[in-house]
C-alpha cells in the first residue's frame, strides 16, 4: 500500500524524556493526528483522512482512519531508538522526511 510507512531513527536523551516531549509538543508531521493511546514505550496517533466528498457519497456512514505507532527504546549511551510505523498521506510522508533530515540522528 502506498500510504504505508515504517522508519527507525535516533533521538538524543532517554526514551521517557522523548515520550514526554512528543506528548507535550508532537513533531509537525503529526499535525492531523491526535494522540489516541499510549503504553510505557509506545504512543499511538490516529487521523481521520476521508475527504468530505467521499463522506457525502457514503452518507456519513464511513471513515478512513490512519494510525501511526511510535515506539521508543533505549540505545547505548544517552540516546533513544524511535520506530514509527503505520499509514500516512503523501504530504505527511514528505513532512516526515523533512523531520528526519533536520531533527534526528542516524542509528
Which CATH number do you get for residue 22? 3.30.310.80
Alpha-carbon span 12 to 18, nearest angstrom = 8
Q: Does position 17 have pLDDT exceeding 80, yes or no?
A: yes
The size of the chain, in residues, is 107
pLDDT reported for residue 67? 95
pLDDT reported for residue 59? 60
Could you tell me which of 48, 44, 43, 84 has the C-alpha nearest to residue 66?
48
Q: What is the pLDDT of residues 44-98, one digit of tens each?
A: 999 987 665 555 555 656 677 899 999 999 998 889 999 999 999 999 999 999 9
> 32 burial class (0-12, 13-18, 19+ CB within 10 angstroms)?
middle
Range of the domain at 55: 4-103
pLDDT reported for residue 54? 52
Q: Hey, which bits of the chain come out as E strands?
A: 4-12, 34-38, 42-48, 65-75, 79-87
pLDDT reported for residue 107? 72
pLDDT reported for residue 1? 56
Cα 16 → chain centroid? 17
Least confident range of 13-17, 37-41, 46-50, 72-76: 46-50
Q: What is the count of structural domains for the chain?
A: 1
pLDDT reported for residue 78? 87
pLDDT reported for residue 42? 97
Amino acid at each position: 500500500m502506498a500510504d504505508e510507512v515504517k522508519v527507525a531513527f535516533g533521538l538524543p536523551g532517554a526514551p521517557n524524556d522523548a515520550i514526554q516531549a512528543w506528548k507535550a509538543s508532537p513533531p509537525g508531521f503529526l499535525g492531523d493526528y491526535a494522540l489516541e493511546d499510549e503504553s510505557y514505550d509506545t504512543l499511538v496517533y490516529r487521523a481521520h483522512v476521508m475527504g468530505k466528498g467521499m463522506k457525502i457519497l457514503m452518507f456519513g456512514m464511513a471513515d478512513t482512519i490512519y494510525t501511526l505507532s511510535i515506539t521508543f527504546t533505549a540505545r547505548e549511551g544517552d540516546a533513544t531508538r524511535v520506530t514509527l510505523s503505520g499509514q500516512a498521506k503523501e504530504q505527511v510522508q514528505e513532512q516526515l522526511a523533512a523531520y528526519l533530515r533536520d531533527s534526528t540522528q542516524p542509528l
